[in-house]
Structure 1
């Protein structure tokens, strides 16, 4: 009987040791890529983390009360981008407040004069510095989102004689030529082709501009810019190399998820060579609100430009 108890006790101890080994060593081995050392060519029966994104430890903070930022490495078509995950959604506003790229010759394009506040609405900004080489009579503009305001498109036509491709599927107008330089299409921007909307890459191909320099890309599409980002940044980032400047109205609102998304998109744009060159709060009174004592708006006008000589 004693001998039998001895065998049972030995078995229990062995099980405990094996369990401890699996709980401690096995996860470390899998993280280090040592699965094959344990089980040869057998594959684990759980899903591995996606290969295009992995966590990176951020530097230790000296203040224990200070939140630790977390970095994520995103690999898109072989390009590695280190993206900071903010400790709080307010980081997007801290990002907007800074414009690391300076413009010596900012030009306001479009805009509608009003008696109410603000006195000018829907104005856009273009940096006309020499390095961007935007040549009147020989410039190309893509403009998404018209509604009832053609001021930007008309200005790019009349002041700079640019060729403008304008898009909006929500205003009930068919495809037509607004002027000699402005061609309008009843098509919207989206992450995939559907009725009345299409991907940016498909539109470039449709008009023979897949390998053509776009002097200015304007996007004012009431939130659909998120689809543009998801499609272009993750699926077709190669189209970004031909865009000199992107003027966009972003719609953060009070949605924390949206704030974090826009901050991620902004960092990915920077990874592909763009820097914020202009920012402006949409200060229409009924769109403004207070958050943590700061004046905020549902929407912000931003311009990113590639930091290089064209």
Structure 2
């Protein structure tokens, strides 16, 4: 074989190897260079945190309230942006709802909007079932592992058996199980008692390619810290809100990493015990 042929063959082999490596990286969801360039300011106070999450980074002209009506708890209310860029179409839109707690007002309203709703909650004592023609329920939680995990926070302040183990799975696996891989998920709601931390970290670290198919993301963040006894005193919780185990410090880098992946804060609402933030994907509606 001539030297020229050998050289061309080597170039071809190297090219194929580089291409295969790139495809492997994309398939595994390894953070891209844009994520590596992602930077954000050092968090120095709770005031800085509150200012950031309460500042809208993009606008919505047409909000729809889903849930929270009449006797439904106030935190059952979620907001969905119906602006044209999100292309919410009856009969085509898909909603994933993580955390139900036997309060169905959000899911019912999403169904009335014409969406197919997949609801998940392993803590309700209910088995998988088709609740209505367009609301399907799964006795499954979401986390950063597949199997069982101690999730959630016991709602009874005096009960010191804080966590119980429930069946959970990763977002990526759940989407594949539903047969929704590769299609747009119009709205993802998470009200999962601080398990949002595990889910966001898993998505950002291992499945950023699945983030690209989410158009709107709503997360309710309990203003709670690491132990149940802290819930006995609002004052104590507020006083330690900036400690090393606080939700403020844990969520801060994740918010900015979402921004680096093209998500902008559209809405923010808060109460004594929770904060809710709605993000919209900047590239929604763009092929």
State the TM-score, normalizing by the size of structure 1: 0.67
Q: Which residue of the partner structure matches residue 103 of structure 2?
A: 149
Q: Take 2:75 and 2:46, find their aligned partners in 1: how far apart are those partners?
A: 27
Matched-pair contact (CA < 8 Å) for 1:142–1:214: yes
- Tell me the CA shift for residue 121 of structure 1: 4.1
CA RMSD of aligned residues (A): 1.8
Residue 283 of structure 2 is aligned to residue 308 of structure 1:
yes
Matched-pair contact (CA < 8 Å) for 2:54–2:267: no
Q: Take 2:251 and 2:258, find their aligned partners in 1: how far apart are those partners?
A: 10
Residue 144 of structure 2 is aligned to residue 168 of structure 1:
no
* Alignment match of 1:194 (pick from 147, 160, 176): 147
Q: Which residue of the partner structure matches residue 131 of structure 1?
A: 85
Q: Encode CA deviations 1:209-255: one digit per residue, 9 max, x unaligned.
A: 12110000010111111111111111111111000000110124344
Residue 170 of structure 2 is aligned to residue 181 of structure 1:
no
Q: Take 2:32 and 2:55, find their aligned partners in 1: how far apart are those partners?
A: 29
- Tell me the CA shift for residue 258 of structure 1: 1.7
Matched-pair contact (CA < 8 Å) for 1:113–1:121: no
Q: Encode CA deviations 1:151-198: one digit per residue, 9 max, x unaligned.
A: 1111111x2121111000000000000011011000001111123100
- Tell me the CA shift for residue 205 of structure 1: 1.0
Q: Take 2:83 and 2:117, find their aligned partners in 1: how far apart are those partners?
A: 20
Matched-pair contact (CA < 8 Å) for 1:103–1:129: yes
Residue 180 of structure 2 is aligned to residue 209 of structure 1:
yes
The structure carrying a bigger helix percent of its residues is 2
Aligned length: 218
Q: Take 1:219 and 1:121, find their aligned partners in 2: how far apart are those partners?
A: 12
Q: Take 1:99 and 1:138, find their aligned partners in 2: how far apart are those partners?
A: 28
Q: Encode CA deviations 1:22-62: one digit per residue, 9 max, x unaligned.
A: xxxxxxxxxxxxxxxxxxxxxxxxxxxxxxxxxxxxxxxxx
- Tell me the CA shift for residue 76 of structure 1: 2.7
Q: Take 2:214 and 2:61, find their aligned partners in 1: how far apart are those partners?
A: 20
Structure 1 gaps, min length 5: 1-74, 283-287, 289-297
Q: Which has the higher contact order (CA 8 A, sep 6+)?
A: 2
- Tell me the CA shift for residue 274 of structure 1: 0.3
- DSSP 3-state at the match of 1:201: helix
Q: Which residue of the partner structure matches residue 25 of structure 1?
A: none
- 1:1-310 correspondence to structure 2 within 5 Å: 76-79=31-34, 80=36, 81-114=38-71, 120-157=74-111, 159-195=112-148, 196-253=167-224, 254=237, 255-256=241-242, 257-282=246-271, 288=272, 298-310=273-285
Q: Which residue of the partner structure matches residue 5 of structure 2?
A: none
Q: Take 1:300 and 1:101, find their aligned partners in 2: how far apart are those partners?
A: 18
Q: Take 1:89 and 1:280, find their aligned partners in 2: how far apart are those partners?
A: 16
Q: Take 2:204 and 2:68, find their aligned partners in 1: how far apart are those partners?
A: 29
Structure 2 gaps, min length 5: 1-29, 149-166, 225-236
Q: Greater Rg, structure 1 or structure 2?
A: 1
Q: Take 2:48 and 2:71, find their aligned partners in 1: how far apart are those partners?
A: 33
- DSSP 3-state at the match of 2:204: helix
State the TM-score, normalizing by the size of structure 2: 0.72
Q: Take 1:167 and 1:309, find their aligned partners in 2: how far apart are those partners?
A: 25
Matched-pair contact (CA < 8 Å) for 1:90–1:259: no
